[in-house]
Amino acid sequence: MIKAENLTKQFDSIMAVDHINAEIREGCVFGLIGTNGAGKSTFLRLASGILKPDEGRITIDGEDIFENVNVKRRFFYISDDQYYFNNATPEDMMEYYKKIYEGFDTERFYKLLGNFGLEKRRKINTFSKGMKKQLSVIYGICANTDYLFCDETFDGLDPVMRQAVKSIFANDMAERNLTPIIASHNLRELEDICDHVGLLHKGGILLSRDLDDMKLNIHKIQCVLSEGTEPEELRGLDVVKVERRGRLCTITVRGVRDEIAGQLEAYKPVFYEIIPLSLEEIFISETEVAGYDIKKLIF
């Protein structure tokens, strides 16, 4: 488990990470959401031991990460702009990573390289941005580490490659309990893969929740209420938000689905349907309650 306690990092007058407390469990996909400058990359650099905290600590299974070689062998960090040696080929970089990660899977490396259509002896500096991203994912997967830190990993990948990478992550999670931590500014990219999402804003975690818990406890109702009944009059429902289009109301409410249905039926609506919220809709609802407009924070 990765645990951050009062984690703080400041650059001159800029508070990049502001007293963060967070836990990342093994075997889940943890998504870090936030705009540019929210602190996502700094958090990952602290988690990977590139930066030393000014205050607090971040640990893996109770061990500090900074300047701890044994702990650093347990994760692979895919930065937003992955560094490769000058004139190196994919094969050259593989030999380098094999010296750091004893469990590096050479056979799988060549297989994935072929599957992605990347040439093993071509100079990496001639690759496109997307090809370099694909290569960095291959190295990260083949390193066979417990954790994979991904900073905007899907940025630059086409939709087909994004799904391919997500499938690889899911496979390794199932087979060897891989734990990916993925930083992104795009909620939609993480919706179908993350188990837990943390929303970063101005260096602090504004919201951190398990997606399953969030989806089970907040629902969207589309309904046409009986004549003379207003959404605000629906007692017993924890109404978060109401939108109207003529007689059609879209009501966001908290609570258990079956209980919500029972309370709503007591008002004998003309029509109603309880439909799932997207990750974006969930975060909009949660952050509006907290006094923030996520559309300004994320999009």
CATH code for the domain of 235? 3.30.70
Res 250: pLDDT = 92
User: 130 and 86 in one domain?
Assistant: yes
> CB neighbours (10 Å) of residue 13?
5
Res 185: pLDDT = 80
Q: Is the pLDDT of residue 297 over 60?
A: no
Q: Is residue 128 part of a domain?
A: yes
Is residue 290 very low, low, confident or very high in pLDDT (cuts 50, 70, 90)? Answer: low
Res 249: pLDDT = 92
CATH code of residue 159? 3.40.50.300
Q: Is the pLDDT of residue 282 over 80?
A: no
Q: Is residue 207 part of a domain?
A: no
Q: What are phi and psi of 76, to 5 degrees?
A: -125, 130
Give the residues across from 242 on adjacent strands.
251
Distances (CA, A) of 172 to 53, 69, 96, 104, 149: 31, 24, 23, 14, 14
Q: Is residue 208 part of a domain?
A: no
User: 151 and 71 in one domain?
Assistant: yes
Q: Is residue 79 part of a domain?
A: yes
> CB neighbours (10 Å) of residue 231?
19
Is residue 68 very low, low, confident or very high in pLDDT (cuts 50, 70, 90)? Answer: very high
Amino acid type, 104: F
Q: Do 135 and 162 meet the contact criterion of CB atoms below 8 Å apart?
A: no
User: 161 and 248 in one domain?
Assistant: no
User: 236 and 154 in one domain?
Assistant: no
Q: Do 20 and 206 meet the contact criterion of CB atoms below 8 Å apart?
A: no
Q: Is the pLDDT of residue 248 over 60?
A: yes
User: 165 and 101 in one domain?
Assistant: yes
Residue-number span of the structural domain to which 251 is assigned: 213-298
Last-in-domain residue among 143, 167, 202: 202
User: 292 and 160 in one domain?
Assistant: no
What confidence tens digit (pLDDT) does each residue in 99-154 have?
999 999 999 999 999 999 999 999 999 999 889 999 999 999 999 999 999 998 88
Q: Is residue 64 part of a domain?
A: yes
Q: Is residue 127 part of a domain?
A: yes
User: 139 and 33 in one domain?
Assistant: yes
User: 250 and 186 in one domain?
Assistant: no
CA gap 178, 146 in Å, rounded: 5
Q: How many domains does the chain have?
A: 2
Q: Do 237 and 264 meet the contact criterion of CB atoms below 8 Å apart?
A: yes
User: 49 and 69 in one domain?
Assistant: yes
Mean pLDDT for 200-217 is 79
Last-in-domain residue among 170, 202, 234: 202
What confidence tens digit (pLDDT) does each residue in 13-64 have?
999 999 999 899 998 999 998 777 889 999 999 999 999 999 999 999 999 9
Burial-class residue 261 by CB neighbours within 10 Å (0-12, 13-18, 19+): middle
User: 12 and 47 in one domain?
Assistant: yes
Q: Which helix (H) or strand (E) holds 42?
A: helix 40-47
Last-in-domain residue among 169, 202, 235: 202
User: 255 and 130 in one domain?
Assistant: no
Which of the residue ranges 72-76, 172-176, 244-248, 282-286 would you say has the lowest mean pLDDT? 282-286
User: 79 and 44 in one domain?
Assistant: yes
Ramachandran category for residue 67: left, alpha or beta (phi over 0 → left; psi -120 to 50 → alpha): left
CA gap 217, 117 in Å, rounded: 44
Q: Is residue 165 part of a domain?
A: yes
Give the 3-state DSSP-derived string for 116-179, with helices as H, strands as E and coil as C.
CCCCCCCCHHHCCHHHHHHHHHHHHHHCCCCEEEEECCCCCCCHHHHHHHHHHHHHHHHHHCCE
